């Protein structure tokens, strides 16, 4: 264990979920204290210069670091809770801004392409009149249609023809959904790569293959995962993608394009069950070890700032000296 025991607060809807329980066990195995709390149980209080928060009728638990596990179904309120901790000076591993960037697919692609990372050709359209132009830009049908906030393959559909794409888009628009239209990467042949990045390093990776008759390779959709050593170009793309989002921890899904990796999605709360069982890597342990270093670095920076404020001298020593002078 690095340094003194740390008080971790994990934000999760369910303490019994595989990923949450694994992080809890990894933290306790290294001598730390852990509390799991449902983000929806927090009450936020805002007043001038004094943000506050309560867990039901009680004050929030002590926390040296908050580890968010914010699911797509509670994105807005979950982000508000994470943001409130940040405002109160409690450090968070993955900030609300970084989580929001990765959760919004279009925003994520905008940031990735600005850094010259390759992504599938993507169009965000809002009018039925633009369907033909959008399809032409991405190379025609078949095309992938996605909800902007979808995850684990939910909200991802394939349109085999122009007519099917138009029908799907019109239905989703009528439901008030924000959607994106994306090129179908035929050379990927139903497989993709998932890399887990922690603290700027890829610590585990797997190749996922979609089951027969399914184009989505997500393990939740019945895909098969196989451990893999990623080529250097895929490792670099995954690390850079997570850095661009501003995440400390992230899962990166990549397709195998003709010219190398294409970033498909970045997940700020990647599931651990599939990747741990497939790769044999203790991902939860790696997260906790990085969290320890994160807390230590923050304490060191805080100490350095205080020292600089007091002319390079320890403020505690200065206080003791002042007390002795008063007594004299």
Closest by CA position to 67, among listed 108, 111, 33: 33
- In this prediction, residue 286 carries a pLDDT of 98
Across the range 154-158, mean pLDDT stands at 80
Of the pLDDT bands very low, low, confident and very high (cuts 50, 70, 90), residue 200 is very high
Predicted local distance difference test score (pLDDT) of residue 174: 81
Q: pTM for the complete prediction?
A: 0.85
Q: Is the dihedral of CA 308, 314, 317, 319 positive or negative?
A: positive
User: CA–CA separation, 300 vs 248, rounded Å?
Assistant: 18
Tell me what pLDDT residue 210 has. Answer: 72
pLDDT surpasses 70 at 63: yes
The set of residues, in sequence order, having a beta carbon less than 8 Å from that of 40 and lying 6+ positions away, is 13, 74, 77, 78
Greatest mean pLDDT among 64-78, 119-133, 191-205 lies in: 191-205
- pLDDT over 60 (residue 216): no
Q: Residue 176 — pLDDT band, cuts 50, 70, 90?
A: confident
CB 194 within 8 A of CB 252: yes
Say whether pLDDT at 233 is over 90. yes
Tokens found for residue 164: 């099917």
Domains of the chain by range and CATH? 7-94 (3.40.50.20), 121-184 (3.30.1490.20)
Q: Is 94 left (phi over 0), alpha (psi -120 to 50) or beta?
A: left
Q: 């449902």: which residue's tokens?
A: 38
Q: 104-131, pLDDT tens digit by residue?
A: 888 999 999 999 999 999 998 777 777 8
CA distance 198 to 257: 25
- The Cα–Cα gap between 191 and 123 comes to 22
Residue 92 DSSP symbol: B
- Give the angle 167-209-279 at the CA atoms, nearest 5°: 135
In angstroms, the CA 158 to CA 216 distance is: 9
Across the range 166-171, mean pLDDT stands at: 86
Q: What is the pLDDT of residues 91-109, one digit of tens each?
A: 999 999 999 999 988 899 9
Which pLDDT score is estimated for 201? 98
Distances in whole angstroms, Cα of residue 8 to Cα of each of 23, 75, 139, 252, 302: 10, 21, 48, 25, 19
CA gap 17, 198 in Å, rounded: 20
């Amino acid at each position: 264990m690095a340094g003194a025991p740390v008080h971790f607060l994990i934000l999760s809807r369910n303490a019994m979920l595989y990923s949450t329980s694994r992080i809890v066990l990894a933290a306790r195995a290294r001598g730390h204290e852990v509390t799991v709390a449902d983000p929806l149980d927090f009450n936020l209080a805002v007043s001038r210069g004094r943000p506050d928060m309560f867990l039901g009728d009680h004050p929030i638990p002590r926390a040296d670091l908050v580890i968010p596990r914010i699911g797509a179904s509670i994105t807005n309120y979950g982000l508000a809770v994470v943001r409130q901790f940040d405002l109160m000076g409690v450090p968070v591993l993955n900030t609300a801004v970084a989580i929001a960037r990765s959760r919004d697919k279009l925003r994520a692609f905008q940031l990735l392409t600005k850094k010259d990372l390759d992504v599938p050709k993507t169009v965000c359209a809002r009018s039925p009149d633009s369907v033909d132009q959008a399809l032409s830009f991405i190379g025609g049908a078949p095309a992938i249609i996605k909800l902007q906030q979808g995850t684990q393959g939910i909200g991802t559909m394939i349109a085999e023809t122009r007519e099917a794409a138009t029908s799907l888009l019109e239905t989703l628009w009528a439901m008030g959904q924000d959607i994106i239209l994306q090129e179908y990467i035929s050379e990927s042949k139903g497989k993709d790569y998932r890399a887990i990045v922690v603290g700027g390093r890829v610590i585990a990776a797997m190749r996922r293959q979609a089951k027969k008759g399914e184009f989505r390779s997500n393990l939740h959709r019945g895909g098969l995962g196989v451990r893999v050593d990623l080529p250097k170009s895929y490792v670099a793309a995954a690390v850079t993608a997570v850095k661009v989002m501003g995440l400390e921890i992230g899962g990166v899904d990549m397709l195998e394009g003709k010219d190398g990796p294409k970033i498909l999605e970045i997940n700020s709360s990647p599931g651990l069950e599939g990747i741990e069982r497939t790769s044999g890597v203790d991902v939860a342990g790696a997260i906790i070890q990085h969290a320890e270093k994160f807390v230590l670095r923050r304490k060191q920076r805080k100490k350095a700032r205080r020292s600089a404020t007091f002319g390079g001298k320890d403020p505690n020593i200065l206080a003791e000296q002042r007390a002795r002078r008063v007594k004299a």
